[in-house]
Every structure is written in structure tokens, then in C-alpha cells.
Amino acid sequence: MIYEEISAESRARRTLTGTARMLLALKLDGPLLIGLALVAIYGLFVLYSASGQSIATVIRGAIRLGIGAVAMLVLAQVNPNFLRRTAPALYALGIVLLIIVDVTGYVGKGAQRWLDLGFIRFQPSELMKLAVPMTCAWFLHERPLPPSPLTLLVTAALILVPAGLVVVQPDLGTGVLITIAGGLVLVMAGLQMRIMAALAVLGVIGAWVGWHFLHDYQRQRVLTFLDPQSDPLGAGYHIIQSQIAIGSGGVFGKGWMNGSQAQLEFLPERQTDFIFAVMGEEFGLLGLAILLLLYLFIVGRALFLAMQTQDTFARLLGGSLALTFFVYVFINAGMVSGLLPVVGVPLPLVSYGGTSMVTLLAGFGILMSLYSHRKLVGS
Amino acid sequence: MVRGVRIKDHWQEQRLFERRAIVAGVVIGLMTLALLVRLFILQVVRYDYYLELSQGNRVRIEPVPAARGMIFDRNGNLLATNQPAYQLELVREEVPDLEDTLARLVEIGLLEEDDLDEVRRTIRSRREFESVPIRLRLSEDDIARFAVRRFEFPGVDIRTRLARFYPNGELAAHALGYVGAISEQDLQRIDRAAYAGTTLIGKLGVESAYERELHGTNGFREVLVNAHGRPVEKQGALTPELRTKAPVAGQDLLLTLDLRVQRVAEEALGDRRGAVVAIDPRNGDVVALVSRPGFDPNLFGRGLTRAEFNALQNDPNRPLFNRALRGTYPSGSTIKPALALAGLVHGVVNPDAHRFCPGVYRLPGSSLAFREGRSGRHGPVDMRDAIARSCDVYFYDLAHQLEVDRISSFLAPLGFGSETGIDIGGERPGLLPSREWKRRAFKRREDQIWFPGETVNFGIGQGYFLVTPIQLAHYTAILANRGVAYRPRLVRALRDPVTGEVRQLAPQKSTEIKNVTPEQWQVVTEGMIGALRGRGTAAATAGRNMTYTIAGKTGTAQVFTVKRTESLDNQKTVPEHLRDHSWFIAFAPVEEPRIAVAVLVENGGFGSTGAAPIARKVMDTWLLEAAPDGDTPPPSFDGSASPLVTRVERE
């Protein structure tokens, strides 16, 4: 074992460039890092335009990006075995915090998503975005795959309890994302196709039942998605204006800071959830295609890294993190372009604000740790 | 291998994961493709559609109000113009607490409690981001008061805009009228689209009658707006071309009024209630149109608080009431020249025959006594004396001989009972009684009969007969011109403010009386000249130190009905507001009349003392004082440009 490690390092020292050696020492993956950096820089340029040339906003965005990068760097150093062992504890802590948030939210009569720790506002639901797939991977790590029915049920419970707690906050979007993050662990663990099909049927029925439990504003989002024109100045306004923005951008766009929809404030949430439309208006189909290709590269690289890992925990968690990232992209781009209902999911690495950027980069940090420590994993 | 006990097969699990990862990769590729297809549809297939939508979003049409035309008197003196005025404006969305802000504005005296409802209504009717005027007409003091506390009022600020300004204040207010906020009533008579952006509209007088000419044509400009409708400067590369159309300023009005004459007339009336109308008989030009008390039209143009408006509205002297056009009064003796003419035309009287005035008149077969006014008895008088000395008995008898219907039908062409047609409108027709009128006017049968005694009263302009000051001035102009008269007018020309081109308005002949012979005119005119000479009623007042020949007639209109059998010397015993109204009509110079004046002083007592001196001052000013810019003759009949016009153009 030790011999192997030394041998690998010594070989690397001989063949790799200085930069690559540094990346290796920092346990970071170069290609993935480049992909993330390109998207982030692209995003900052768009943010400058979307915020009405506010350099202050761009700086704040960059600071947030820096915090995420630090989180990524730190997590990349953490031994996967430690991550695996602490996953259940993290999960338990998350559940407790979610309950506290729900209770205080109930007392305070209104939406409650964060805990005020005095120096920072902390969203337990963000923690759960990572803790749930980690715990699922931990749980499946020891068990034979594809999962047995009992394993499946327990895993499902591990996913749905925190997801349910988030949905009642109420934060349907994050609840769905947590479910997807956990579900993707199961899918990568070899969840049987027939079970997936059955779940799909159940999902349809569940949606029909769930409709009656949705808040008015959530129902409205669905209805408006189905027919935006029905309420052009109300709930449909976001979708109509974002489609106008994207559509009027054409192939090459109106040019940086020349998007009238964005610059003249027709486009709501243009710095956050709808920044994809700003890109579409100012950089056109070309700009969006480049962005999507960058995302594809990131996801592809992340999947590749996950495939290279040696143990179940690493594979499942890595696969889930990679795919969840894409789900973010797809939901945001789909909602802004009118393919999906508006569910308040930010565009990864580009949308301004929120803690999701930190969570995402932390996820990539974990992924890099899983990859760079792959030879040590096993026991 | 025992069923139920599964052993973890790492190699197989790795294969499973790899398969899943590949499937996931394919699914991801397909989903990305779906996104790209969707984007292709939006950005390529439907590009034109969305581009058009994005353009339409951004342009708003904003009206640009035209500058209102200015108004000048006949000598080029400015009567009405536009001036920047300061006003307090509020932007709703920038005000943290509207009620608190309004309350504090009341506290520092910039708003009045009574106006708050109005202010709230105005604010509600506009959009959140619009700047709404909440207080017009700020004084220097107000501005200073607000300026030091401005920081306490976010969303409230002082703005300037063009307001109507009348440099001469109250002078000629009733002729000019005023401008005020567009009311519901106004909206019904104007084209709303043409008035988009206009906030003020002419309300009375020239301002109202010539609204169309003064208003001009509003322009517009397209402005780039954001989603909140707020104008923005920022423009992108694909900015649509913004169109603008410049407004066309309203036309300037050149009035017939002579500011000097107007001022003299108003000052002569002073604090008394009354009216003065002076007409140039050669063309109908109204040289002075006075109604007192007046008001300051500037108050309206810059906004009036409710309290101020109520004060004007409820003033017992009724300053808003245009007595010159709308006040109807008994004509008193001023009608006697017309009666005399009627008598001559119908041949019921010989002008040279002397009749004896015993101071009282009795209808044949009646015990009713009709007494003389003040002068007791006149002894033997012919027609000229009767006019000059205003002998009631002579005209009682003349009226009796003429009969009411012959009087009415003779008076109608002289403009009584109908509007003179003055170009600013708003006149009342007065009342010209006749047998037919009485039949229709009264319900009870016994009231519908015309009594002979009523005809007798008609002879001295009492009873049902009612005239307006403008009617009397018009009638005087007919007397001056011996049967010919023009429609009274206040506006004689319109001037294009850009090119300076002046369009003269031709005088319109409105009356031509042909059944009176020159000799008959002469008799009456001589009677009226006599009124200002020797023993004439106005000899001591209007007739003193004449340097030109005046023909005039006094009149005393009863307010308080006293029986003719009683003493008429009521000036000391009845309260002021029930005293007689004082009339005087005159034209001059008799040889070639250039002015015809009618003066009314409400409760002014006898015509000779109340009204006549005012008429004299007016005539002196018009006839003797040179126009400020050399002796400028008024425009001639044919409407050709006079030197005055060129002078105005130069300004």
C-alpha cells in the first residue's frame, strides 16, 4: 500500500508540470476546475450587465464565489472515509435543525428557511442537499447492489423525511432537489428499471393528490406554466418576459449590456433565477449553447471522476453530485425558457445570491476528494 | 449460494455503476438537446415575433403640451402670458408614509386641511411613480419654508411648470376670463386626445371663447421606459428610433381692448359694483369691458385653494359675476331716445310740438298717477327737451300712444331682448316684454293680460324690460352710427407665434335700421347732446368742459319698487343695496362717433351723478389721449394691417 502510494507520487513528480503537481497536492482536478472557473467568470460578466452595471454586485458575487472555492478546497482535503463516517451524524444534525426551523417558522407564522446564528444566516436545507446523498451513499455502501426492497424502503425514508421537512417550510423547490439528489444515489446504485417505472406511475398519482396540498402560489406557478398568457401581468409575467428576452436575443444576441428586456427591468429576478434569460438576450443562442456545453463538460468530467473512484460510497455520492448539478442546470434553463414551471432554482455558478453556490462548490470539493483519495479508499 | 444472503460483488457493482453512468450521460445529452431545441425555437424560429414584442414593451408616447397663445391689447400691451410657476409635487412610491407626510405639510402651512381630500384623490388617480402636483402657486415664502425642511419630506419636491400669468392682475379679468383645471364638463366639449398633456383650459371670457386658437396643437415624444413605465436614459444597440413631434404653440390674440381705457374705467368705478362697456361704433371693437368687482385671474391659473374659491364664490358682491354681459337691469331712462325714435317713425308725435309737463301723468280714464322722477315738473317741453331733461311725463304719454307691441317691435332690431353676439359669448338676452311674451310667461289667466299702466312704465324703461350693459352699449353704438352697428368683438386678429403672421378678423355688420330718416336721427341726437348742455341731466357732470361733442342719456333704474304715487326720494331712507342703479350712455364725437359707452353703477343713485362722470373719463381717454406709441388709429373697416400690428410683430 505505502509502496504503491510513493510510487505513484514519484512517477507523477517526474512526468507532470508544476501546475499539475500543485493541483495534485491540493487534491483538485484541473479540467473540472477549469470548467467551473469558465462558467463562473462568464456568470460574473452577465451579472455585471444584469445588475445594471453594478460593480458592487459583481464584487459581492465574486466574494461568494471565493467562499465556495474555499469550501471546495477544504472539502477536497477531507478524507472520504471521514466523510462517510460523519455522514449519519451530519444527517441527524440536519434533521434536528430542520425541525427547529419548521417550529420557529410555525410560531412566526410565515415562511422560515434559515437559522440566524448571529454571525451568519444558515439554511439547514442547503446542508441537507449534501447530507442526504452522503447518507444514502453511506447506507448503500455496505449493502449489496442493486438494493433489496428493504434497503430501498429505508433509503426512501432517509430521503423523504428531510425532503418533507423542507417542503413544509414551505420550500417546494429545495425539497424536490433534495429528493432528486437522494434519488439519483439510488439510481446510480442500480435501482431496478421496473421500480423506477412504478415510481413514475406513483408520481403521477401523487402529483394529482399533492395538488390539493399545494399552496396557492405553488398551484399558480403550475397553472401559469401550463398557460402563461392567462395572466400576462400577474403570475405569467415572469415567463412571458423571460421568453421575450430569450427570443429577441436571436442567434447572436443584442450584445453585452444591450439587452433591453434586462436593462429596462422588464425581466424580473434578472440577477438571480432569470439570469439565464439575460444571457440569452445579450449573447443569443450562441452564448447559451456555449454555456450549456460548459455545463455538459463539467457534468461529464464529474461523472468520469466518479467512475474512477474505487468504492461504492465514492461512486454513488460522486455520481449523485454530478447528476444533481445537471438537474439544477436543466430545471433553471427549462423554467426560464418555458419548458418547466417556475420553481425558483438558481442557475448553478451564475445566479447571484443565496447559499446554493457555496453548497454546489462544496459538492465539487467532495467529488474531488473522492477522486483524489480513490487509492486510499477501501480498507 | 444460499438465497437471501447476498454477497457484495465489487466488480459487478462497478460494472453496474458504469452502465448507469453511461445511460445517465446519454439522458443528460438528450435533455441538453431538448433545451437547445427549445432555445432554437425561441431564438431562431420565433425570433421576429419576440423581437417585436421586446420593442413594443419599451416605447411610451408622452404628450408635449403646446404653449398657450399670448393675449395683447390693441396697443400691443401684454394681457396674458405663460410664466414658470413653482409647485409642490409628490411621488407616491418615494413617500414612506403618505398620511404622515400630508399631515406634516399641513403643519408647516404648505397644504390646507380642507384640500387634503382633493389631494388624496389626485394622488390616487395617478401612477405610483408619477410626480403629482399637490400644491400649486408657491410663494417665495413657501419655497423658503419648504427648502429648509426638504430632507424631512422624501418624495416631495418643488417643480416648475408654465402657468398662465396675467401681468395686470384684476384688470380686464372679466373680459379675459381665466384658465383652470380641466373639469368633467370641459372634457365633454373637447377632444380628449388633443388635450392629452394639457392641464389647464380657458374658463371664461376670451380664454374660453378662443380656447381652440389659444390651445395650439400638442406634440408628443416617444420615450424609452422600463417595466415600471419610468423613463430611462439607457439605450441598447437595438433601440428603436424614437419619434417626436414638436408641439405647435397656440395663436396669440390681439384684442380690441385698450388697456388705458380699461384701466381708467376700472379706476373710475373703484369699489362700486357696476359695469362699463365701450364700443367703437365704426367696427364693433370693444375698447373697454369692465365688471366690478373683479378677481385676480392669476389665482385660477396657478391653482386656487378651496377656501379661496369659496370666498370668491360666496362674496355677496359676486366678483365672479360678469355684470357687463350677464347682469340684467331695468334700462331706466336710457331707453328714451329709442322711444322717441319709435314715436317719430310711427308718426305719433311731432318733435317740435311742446307738451306741458305738470310733474304727474294720469292715464285717461284712470286714477293712477305716474309721477316724475326727481326734477318735479318740467313745464312745456318738446322732444329734444324731453330727452335732454329726461321728462318722464312726455315719455309716459308717448309710450301710451305707441302701445307696447309697437315699442317692442321697434326695440328688437336695436338689440334688446337678444344677445348682441359678442365674440366671447356668455351673454344674457335681457327681457323685451310684449303682449305675446306676457301671455306665455305667466300661468294665471289674470296675469297674462297686459295692462296699459305697464306700457306707461315701459316708456321710462321700468317694469318688465331688462337690459344688460353690453346691450346698452351696442344700442348706443347704433344711435351713434344712425342705424348701423357691428357685432361687438374683443378679438380683432390672430397672430401666428412662429411666423408672426397676423390674420385680421373682419368686423361683422349685425344691424342695419333703414326705416328711420336722417332728420329723425338728428332730432334724437340733438336731444342727447342737450342732456350734456344747459339744463340737461348730465350737463353738470359728464358735460363739463367738453372739448368735443357728446351725445348722452342718463338713466336711473329702480331696484326697490316704490309706487309711482309715492315720493321717489328714497336715497336716504332705503338701504344701499336697494337704492337705484345709475346708468349713463353716451357717444362721441357726435360728428363722427368713435366711441359708444354704457356705464352702470349698481345702487349708484341718479345716472347723472353715479355713472356719467365715469363715461366721460372713458371717452376722454379714448378720444383725447394719444396712444402710447404715437397716435395709432384703430384698424380700418377693411381689415388691412394697421401700424399697431407691425409694432406687435416686432416684439
pLDDT (average), residues B524-541: 86
Which residues does chain A have within 8 Å of residue B7's beta carbon, measured at their own beta carbons? Answer: 144
C-beta atoms of A144 and B237 within 8 A: no
Mean pLDDT of B337-343: 93
Calculate mean pLDDT across residues B272-280: 93
The Cβ of residue A285 has, within 10 Å, a number of other Cβ atoms equal to 21
- pLDDT for the residue numbered B631: 41
Burial class (CB in 10 A: 0-12, 13-18, 19+), B144: exposed
Q: Which of A260, A274, A379 to substitute to test the interface with B, most B CBs within 10 Å?
A: A260
Q: What are phi and psi of A175, to 5 degrees?
A: -55, -45
Chain A partners within 8 Å of B238 (Cβ): 254, 258, 260
Higher pLDDT, B236 or B154: B154
Residue B237 confidence (pLDDT): 45
Q: Looking at per-residue confidence, does B321 or B546 come out higher?
A: B321
* Nearest C-alpha in B relative to A143: B8
Q: How far is B221 from chain A (nearest CA, A)?
A: 18
For A335-369, the three-class secondary structure string (H helix, E strand, C coil) is HHCCCCCCCCCCCCCCCCCCCHHHHHHHHHHHHHH
| pLDDT mean over B234-249 | 68
Torsion of CA B266, B270, B272, B274, to 10 degrees: -10
Q: Which residue from A188, A246, A267 is facing B43, i.e. has the nearest CB?
A: A246
| B274-280 and B502-504 strand pairing | unpaired
Handedness of CA A97, A100, A104, A106 (dihedral sign): positive
Query: Using 50, 70 and 90 to split pLDDT, how confident is the model at A110?
Result: low
Give the model confidence (pLDDT) of A224-253 as tens digits: 666 665 555 555 677 888 898 999 999 998
Specify the residue for cell string 368742459.
B545
- In the prediction, which pLDDT does B633 show? 41
Could A255 and B20 be called an inter-chain contact, meaning their C-beta atoms sit closer than 8 Å?
no
Q: B472-485 pLDDT, tens per residue?
A: 999 999 999 999 98
pLDDT for A87 beyond 90: yes
Rounded mean pLDDT of B171-187?
Answer: 83
* Residue A298 scores a pLDDT above 60: yes
Q: Which position has the higher pLDDT, B562 or B357? A: B357
Question: CB-based contacts of B642: which residues, under 8 Å, 6+ apart?
Answer: B632, B633, B634, B635, B636
CB A247 to CB B47 under 8 A? yes
Query: What are the phi and psi torsion angles at A347 (to 5°)?
Result: -80, 120
- Per-residue pLDDT of A210-226, as tens digits, reads 888 777 777 776 676 66
The residue among B42, B52, B225, B234 with the most chain A CBs within 10 A of its CB, best to mutate, is B42
| Residues on chain B touching A315 (C-beta within 8 angstroms) | 13-14, 17
B608 classed as catalytic: no
Interface size between A and B, measured as CB pairs under 8 A: 157
Of A48 and A220, the structure prediction assigns the larger pLDDT to A48
Chain B residues whose beta carbon lies within 8 Å of the beta carbon of residue A243: 42, 50
Catalytic residue (one of B333, B434, B582, B608): B333
- Chain A residues with CB-CB distance to B242 below 8 A: none
pLDDT tens-place string over residues B614-651: 999 999 999 988 655 444 444 433 333 333 333 333 33
Contact A296 B29 (CB under 8 A): yes
Asked if A320 and A185 touch (Cβ cutoff 8 Å), the reply is: yes
Q: Which of A373-377, B29-33, B161-165, B425-429 has the lowest mean pLDDT?
A: A373-377
Helix pair angle (A80-107, A356-372), 10° resolution: 160
Instruction: Report which of residues A373 and A225 the model is more confident about.
Output: A373
Q: How confident is the model at residue A43 (pLDDT cuts 50, 70, 90)?
A: very high
Cell digits for B488? 361687438
> What's the pLDDT tens digit per position in B318-328?
888 999 999 99
Any idea where the domains of chain A sit in the sequence?
A: 30-77+228-379, 87-213
| CB atoms A258 and B236 under 8 Å | yes
Residue of A248, A295, A315 lying closest to B53 (CB–CB): A248
Number of C-beta neighbours around residue B347 at 10 A? 7
The Cα A171–Cα A110 span in angstroms is: 12
The band of B469, judged by pLDDT with boundaries at 50, 70 and 90, is very high
B31: closest chain A residue by CA: A330
Contact list in B for residue A281 (CB cut-off 8 A) is 54
Helix A30-50 / helix A275-308 crossing angle, nearest 10 deg: 170
Q: Taking 60 as the threshold, does the pLDDT of residue A378 lie above it?
A: no
Which of A41-50, A69-78, B84-93 comes out lowest in average pLDDT?
B84-93
pLDDT of residue B607: 66
Distance CA B494, CA B510 (A): 21
Nearest-Cα residue of chain B relative to residue A145 = B13
Residue-wise over B349-380: b if at least 16 C-beta within 10 A, else e?
bebeeebebebbbebeeeeeebbbbeeeebee
Best residue of B7, B28, B37 to probe chain A, by most A CBs closer than 10 Å: B28
Q: Tell me which chain A residues have a C-beta less than 8 angstroms from the C-beta of B18.
A: 307
* pLDDT, tens only, B129-157: 667 778 877 888 888 888 888 888 888 88
pLDDT reading at B302 higher than 80: no
Mean pLDDT of B373-380: 75
Q: Do A312 and B13 touch (CB under 8 A)?
A: yes
A260/B238 Cβ within 8 A: yes
* Cβ atoms of residues A317 and A75 within 8 Å: no
pLDDT at B564: 43
What's the mean per-residue pLDDT of chain A?
84
Distance between CA atoms of residues A270 and A266, nearest Å: 9
pLDDT tens-digit series, residues A7-26: 555 555 556 678 888 888 88
- Please write the tens of the pLDDT for every residue from A319-346: 999 999 999 999 999 989 988 877 778 8
Residue A258 has its nearest CB partner, among B16, B49, B238, at B238
Instruction: Answer yes or no: is pLDDT of B373 > 50.
Output: yes
Of the candidates A250, A299, A316, which has its C-beta nearest B28's C-beta? A299
Which run of H or of E encompasses B55? helix B47-56
Residues of A in contact with B54 (CB under 8 A): 244-245, 247-248, 260-261, 266, 281
Cβ atoms B620, B597 nearer than 8 A: no
Contact A296 B28 (CB under 8 A): yes
Q: Output the pLDDT for position B289.
A: 94
